[in-house]
Amino acid sequence: MIVDCAIYRDGHRTEGSEDFSGALEGARAAKGFVWIGLHEPTADEFALVSQEFGLHPLAVEDALKAHQRPKLEVYDDSLFMVLKPVEYEPDGDTVSAGEIMIFLGDSFVVTVRHGEGFPLDAVRSRLEHEPELLGNGPTSVVYAIADAAVDHYLLVAAELQTDLEELEAEVFSPEGAGTQLTASRIYAFKRQVLEFRRATGPLTPPMARLTEAGSFGAAVPFVSKEARPFFRDVHDHLTRVNDSVEGMDRLVSDILSAHLAQVSVRQNDDMRKISAWAAMAAIPTMLAGIYGMNFEHMPELRWEWSYPVVILAMAALEVFLYRLFKRRGWM
């Protein structure tokens, strides 16, 4: 359950006590903070943590159940934030989202991670190599996690954009136009963009609130004034991601509309060809049907050249119809 536990003072790490209350007391005595990282804890395992740090029961419930939207909630003794880092597998064209819950309070940070993707080891290592940033207190941990998640959003958005361009080229190529496989790929890609949007879109209000942007009222507690410019940078990157995702969503919709139009045009073209061939087949069928009737008095029945004349008439009409349909693009 416990991935890591350490006390940070003046931007430097010291190993934390296995006793959570002892680690928190030591951090406060040293004028530092303790960072505890957890991975998919059970309710019993997390009960001790929530009791020692005084976490709100509603936030604890959200952290255990997961499947939350990105959000920021303020409680009396702590701040609760949810992030959804994403991973993209180009080979399978799938976007998968994990979840990171962050509890921020007086001299402590507790992170709860769900899913196998986006481990926080790299974020912790980065902070420990930047003592000036880490010296800003527990807020620096929230910033570093949000910054890493949003920067990864940019990478995922770039990969999705590349795949979208390939899909667009396939749709408008002669080989891919109007095929059922292409339609399935467009729909699957749109689903992945929607999954990505669910992770990035709802995160905008929390990041704006951390920067005091918009009409969100007073500043968020437990977030120092010095940290707000850092969150503003994350908010700017997130805005770029959301703009990119919105553009991709519109383009996928346009590609799907164009594909459906291609299918409709192709079906109409097929129907024209079928109608043209049916019209050409109708003439000999009609004449053969007329002369196949067993009546004694029929035109040219006893004329020596009747049969060749009828055959030539049918051939002439067939040539005439063929050239007519060919000129109009029906053949």
Residues 111-133: tens digit of each pLDDT: 999 988 788 889 988 988 998 88
pLDDT at 213 over 60: no
Tell me the mean pLDDT in the region 188-205. Answer: 91
pLDDT digits (tens, 9 = 90+) for 55-91: 999 999 999 988 899 999 999 889 999 999 998 886 7
Domain boundary among 263, 287, 315: 263
Q: How many CB atoms lie within 10 A of CB 240?
A: 13
**What per-residue confidence (pLDDT) applies to 16?**
58
**What per-residue confidence (pLDDT) applies to 158?**
92
Same domain, 273 and 239: no
Same domain, 88 and 137: yes
Which one is predicted more confidently, 116 or 176? 116
| Lowest-confidence region among 111-120, 158-167, 181-190 | 181-190
pLDDT at 289 over 70: yes
Same domain, 149 and 217: yes
Q: How confident is the model at residue 152 (pLDDT cuts 50, 70, 90)?
A: very high
Domain boundary among 215, 234, 263: 263
- Yes or no: say if 257 and 180 are a contact pair by the CB < 8 Å rule: no
**What per-residue confidence (pLDDT) applies to 82?**
95
Same domain, 112 and 226: yes
Same domain, 78 and 99: yes
pLDDT at 148 over 90: yes
Same domain, 105 and 245: yes
Count CA atoms within 13 Å of residue 268 on its CB side. 7
Question: What percent of the chain has a predicted confidence (pLDDT) above 70?
Answer: 85
Question: In the sheet that 78-83 helps form, which strands lie side by side, from edge to edge?
Answer: 12-15, 2-9, 33-39, 108-114, 99-105, 78-83, 71-74
Domain of 45, in residue numbers:
2-263
Domain boundary among 219, 241, 263: 263
- Paired with 78 in beta bridges are 105
Which one is predicted more confidently, 30 or 96? 96
Same domain, 59 and 173: yes
Q: Give the domain CATH number at 17.
A: 3.30.460.20
Same domain, 215 and 308: no
Same domain, 100 and 242: yes
Q: Give the domain CATH number at 301.
A: 1.20.58.340
Same domain, 276 and 258: no
Q: What is the DSSP string of 283-325?
A: HHHHHHHHHTS--SS-TTSS-TTHHHHHHHHHHHHHHHHHHHH
Q: What average pLDDT does the structure give for the chain?
A: 82
Same domain, 204 and 308: no
Q: How confident is the model at residue 214 (pLDDT cuts 50, 70, 90)?
A: very low
pLDDT at 143 over 90: yes
Same domain, 275 and 246: no
Query: Structural domain tally of the chain?
Result: 2
**What per-residue confidence (pLDDT) applies to 216?**
43
Q: How confident is the model at residue 215 (pLDDT cuts 50, 70, 90)?
A: very low
Which one is predicted more confidently, 176 or 143? 143
* Nearest of 109, 32, 112 to residue 68 by alpha carbon: 112
